Structures are given as C-alpha cells and as structure tokens.
Amino acid sequence: MDKILFIVSPNIQNEDFFKPSYNVRIVRKGKKDFGSVLTDMPIGVLSMSSFLKKHLKVETKLIDFNVTLNEMKEYSFGSFSELFESTLLGLKQTGYNPDIVGISTLFTSAYQNMLAIAKYCRKNFPFALILAGGGVPTNMYKNIFQDSRDFDALCYGEGEKPLLKLLTFGDKKKYLDESPSWITRTKVEKNLVFKHDFLSDLDEIPFYDYGLFEKDKYSLNPAITAYAGVAEKKQNFHVMTSRGCTFRCIFCSSHTVHGRKMRYFSLKRVKEDLIRLRDEFGARVIVFQDDHLLADKERAHKIIHILKKLGLASVFQNGLALYALDRRMLLDLKSAGVDSLLLSIESGSSRVLKEIMHKPLDLKVVKRVAEDCRELEIYSSVNILIGLPGETKKDIEEAISFLKTLDANWFLVFCANPLVGSEMFDICVKKNYLKGEYIGSDYKKAVVETEDFTAEYIQETAYRMNLELNFVYNSDLRLLDYKTALKGFENAIKAKNDHALAYYYASKCYAALGEKDKAKKYLELAKKFSKLPFWQKYVKLFKIPIENPD
C-alpha cells in the first residue's frame, strides 16, 4: 500500500510573516505581532485523496503549514525553514516513511516555502518521490527546476488522473518520463509540450476527504473572519462545485490549471455532499471556491434553493459575477440567509475594465447591485485592483471618484500583481515592468512599475484608497447606518490595534448610538494613536479633526 504525504505550503513569505508591513492584517503570538495566514481548506488535496482511495488502497496524510502557523500561540522558530525541518524530522522519527510526497502550492507567495519543504523532504525521506502541484508548479516549472534539485516531477494542471495513473504504473519514474501531464527536468530541457489530463465528469470524484484533518483547525480561517458582514464564523467548510472559467481577465491564471471550459458536479451530487457536510461534519457555513459559480444561472438558483432547504449559510470567497446578480438572484440569496457578498468589481474606471482588464462589466450594473444589496440588507464588500500595465494615475483617481458614490459597505483594495500564467505577467515581462523580487509577492506588495507610475506609488495609493473609501467616505456613516459602520471599524481594529482612523470613526458611531462611555474611550484611543508618525501623516492628509472633533 502506497503512503502519500500531502503538504500544503504556507501562503505567506517568511519575511511577511515575521515582519508584517503597515498594510496587512496582523495576529498576536505571545508578545510579538506576525502576519496573518490564510487557512482555506485544501480542496485540491481533499479531492485527490478521495479520488485515489476510490480506485486504490492508499494511505494519505496531510500537513497544512498554514494551520500549523495559525495554531501556534507562540512562535519560537527563527524562520519557516526551521519549522519545516523540525516538523518533517519529527515525522520521520515516528517511523513514518511516505512513498510519495505531494506539495500543494497555489500562490507565488508560497514559492520559496515550497522549495524549502522539498529540501527537508528529500533530506528526511530520501527514497520518496517528491512531487508538487497547483498553480505555481504548473506555471513556474522552469524556475523551480532552476532553483531546486529536490523535485522528481511537477504536475501540469489538475492532479487526480495524473496521480492515479502514476500510482497504477509499475515503474513510476518511467511513467513520469513518458506522461505529458508530468513535468520533469529532462522534458523541460528538451522543450517538450505538456498537456492537461482533466476529468470531464466531476461526479467521478467521491465526497472530498474531509477526514484528513480536524475540522476545528480551519475555524481560524481569516478568509471568513475578515468579512465584517458574516455573522457565523465557525464550522465553515469549503466546497468547489465546478471547475473552469470562461472569462479572460488579464490578471487571472486559473485557466492554466482548470481550463476555460466549465465543468460541473451534478446538482444531485452537490445536494448529497451538502447534506453529508451538515449531518456528519456539523457544517453551518459553506464556503464556495468556484471561480465562476454563476456561469449557469439556473443551476446557481437551484444550489441556492438547496442551501435554503438545508439551513446552511454560505460565503462566496472568489466573488460572484456582477452581471448575473440581478434582482431575482439577490432575492434568492437573501432568502437563503446570505448576509454578505464579495463583489468582484476590480476597478471603478470604465476604461480600465474594458480596455485593460478585459472584464465585461458596466459601471451602471455595479451601482445597481450595490444599491440592491443595501436595500436587501446584504453586506457588500468590494474587490479593487490598481496598478495594471496600461492603467494611469488619472484612471485611478477617476475610479476613486466613482467608488466614493457606491453604497457598498466595505472596500478591499489590492495591488495588481502578475500571476505567472496570466496575460498581465506576459505583458509585464515583455515591457520590463517587473521591479524587485516579484516571485513570492502578494496583493499587498506592488512590484509593477510602468511609464505611468512607480511600484511605491501603487502601494501607497492602495492604502490611501483603503482609508479614504472605508473610513473618510464610509458609505454606512454617510447613510447614518451606525451599527453597520461599526462592524467594519471594529473589524479594522482587530486587524490593526493601533488604527487611529478606525477608533475615531467608531467613536462617532458610538456617540450617535448614545453610548457615550464607549465613544469617549475610542476617541481617547484615536488621539493616542494619531500621535504615532504613521497615523499623523493620514490625519493631516484627510484633515481629520481628532483633537477637536465636532
């Protein structure tokens, strides 16, 4: 029986964890602040594990270092490498020896972590096949083989069928050399072309192997806690009911793993899985990871009705296509208990949306969806990207002007970063727009520099927009909805406990609600933190009367 060890790389760079920058969410461990780590359930790993167990007698094990980092109340290691080395050595000392190690790496921010994990896997399990899969290996195989000698092969795209075929083949190394779905150093040197090996019928995948981990470990998921509008934070389970995306957004590379053609689990199967998650695992919130859940609107309506009937709340982590969020869809979502939506608007500039992003979205639709969400009491968070090649400072300022008029509750403003495999990455390489160390960068660190802007300008502007849209021109405050406004301000304080602007505007809300003691306490904290050099700059920029409030 083959033993397979699945490892999920931390989705944060070593430096960003140990020395978080001013514009990121932080967590307190012991007496120190660290960068926050996402703990999304590793859907790809769970799918592969269940698929393999359906066809073979295999033993699978999971180490998710994102969960490991979140679980630690204090952090005693000096680097991620020390953590990896200690964990894998400890596993070896228990007598565990895997036949295959599969390292899942979805984001470039995990690139260096993946290499370090492979190094210590090779050291502790010298006879195991060391493999990697996900968006990073699919798109960065040349970099990986250049930077590491520890990998036997990398999976091209989805891994269920390639991994099953590998395990059923007698001579595994020979199969890796022959299969076009496995990338090896020799093939790269020969400039061979690689091919996806997709499952056309997703129902062939059994119920995900959620038994690979302890469910409570993922209740720490900041992807849930970051949404101020989500009432229920615990017992959330991730699902993916479809694969593929028909859109061609310049910044996205998901098609390199799942393709552009939509594939679906049947509705019967979706219902069975949701019932099982509720009854056997105690699920209360379903987190959808579909890239384009609304590609088939009627199917989406039926899934929403299933959720309603089963009494399950839902979060759509990758957002929902705004063109499909008509009144009927929003009413359906509301009737199913959906109290929060992520609106993937991406830009408030029509020119940027159409000419640069290739995103077919009309700003009139954006206004209508935001207004409908507010009317239906659905808390709306808006995704915004700035700093794409071809975008100008004028575009960004025009976008800000439009976004100030939206009735959305909160804005998530990010630096547009080039995912390897995206059209944006190709443009940036061709025009030499990438500055500094772009491999491993995330959406808080700008690395694109064009004729129109510097990377520093984009990073600073993204944070300024965050403050301007969420605090100075907060729509809930503008519309006198003080209780809802407080959700966002209190959430910001949890993420950054010296947030002078959050304390100031929260104090205004408490005063309006008649809670004088809290208003006074928060105003004093606002005054205290506004004296810090970092906050002095923004208090002056926005002319905020913290010392002499109304």
SS (H, E, C) 168-193: HCCCHHHHHHHCCCEECHHHHHCCCC
Tell me if residue 5 falls in helix, strand or coil: strand
CB of 298 within 8 A of CB of 249?
no
Q: How far apart are CA 277 and CA 286, in angstroms?
A: 9
Residue 459 corresponds to which tokens in the numbers above?
Answer: 């990073």
- pLDDT in the model for residue 229: 46
Q: How confident is the model at residue 547 (pLDDT cuts 50, 70, 90)?
A: confident
Q: How far apart are CA 489 and CA 499, in angstroms?
A: 9
Interval 520-545 mean pLDDT: 95
Name the phi and psi angles at 464, rounded to 5.
-60, -40
Q: How far apart are CA 294 and CA 274, in angstroms?
A: 18
Q: How confident is the model at residue 228 (pLDDT cuts 50, 70, 90)?
A: very low
Q: Tell me the pLDDT of the chain averaged across its residues.
A: 91
Instruction: Give me the residues paired with residue 155 across strands.
Output: 182
Q: How far apart are CA 392 and CA 358, in angstroms?
A: 16
Q: How far apart are CA 187 and CA 252, in angstroms?
A: 26
∠ Cα 288 292 295 (to 5°): 120
DSSP per residue over 120-166, as a string? HHHHH-TTSEEEEESHHHHH-HHHHHHH-S--SEEE-S--HHHHHHH
CB of 176 within 8 A of CB of 184?
yes
Domains of the chain: 2-189 (3.40.50.280), 221-477 (3.80.30.20), 498-550 (no CATH)
**Distances in Å between the alpha carbon of 176 and those of 92, 168, 169, 469?**
26, 12, 10, 51
Q: What is the pLDDT of residues 385-419, one digit of tens each?
A: 999 999 999 999 999 999 999 999 999 999 998 88
Instruction: Give me the residues paired with residue 4 across strands.
Output: 60, 100
Terminal-to-terminal C-alpha distance of the chain: 72
The yes-or-no verdict on residue 247 having pLDDT over 80 is: yes
Residue 325 corresponds to which tokens in the numbers above?
Answer: 């969020």
Q: How far apart are CA 242 and CA 168, in angstroms?
A: 27
CB of 145 within 8 A of CB of 112?
no
- pLDDT in the model for residue 236: 86
Q: How far apart are CA 484 and CA 481, in angstroms?
A: 6
The yes-or-no verdict on residue 438 having pLDDT over 60 is: yes
- pLDDT in the model for residue 441: 62
Residue 66 corresponds to which tokens in the numbers above?
Answer: 């994102």
Q: How far apart are CA 458 and CA 364, in angstroms?
A: 26
Nearest in space to 306 (alpha carbons), one of 322, 286, 326: 286
Q: How confident is the model at residue 231 (pLDDT cuts 50, 70, 90)?
A: very low
Q: What is the pLDDT of residues 116-151, one digit of tens each?
A: 999 999 999 999 999 999 999 999 999 999 999 999
Is-above-0.85 flag for pTM? yes
Count of beta carbons in the 10 Å neighbourhood of residue 517? 8
Residue 139 corresponds to which tokens in the numbers above?
Answer: 């798109």
153-155 β-sheet, strand order? 58-64, 2-8, 100-104, 129-133, 153-155, 182-183
Pairing, β 26-29 against β 32-35? antiparallel
Residue 47 burial (C-beta neighbours within 10 Å; 0-12, 13-18, 19+) = buried
Q: How far apart are CA 33 and CA 226, in angstroms?
A: 17
- pLDDT in the model for residue 234: 60
Residues near 364 by beta carbon (within 8 Å), at least 6 away in sequence: none
Instruction: Find the Cα–Cα–Cα–Cα dihedral 438, 441, 445, 446, rounded to 10°.
Output: 30
Interval 41-50 mean pLDDT: 95
Cα R_g (the chain), whole angstroms: 24
Residue 35 burial (C-beta neighbours within 10 Å; 0-12, 13-18, 19+) = buried
DSSP one-letter code for 108: G
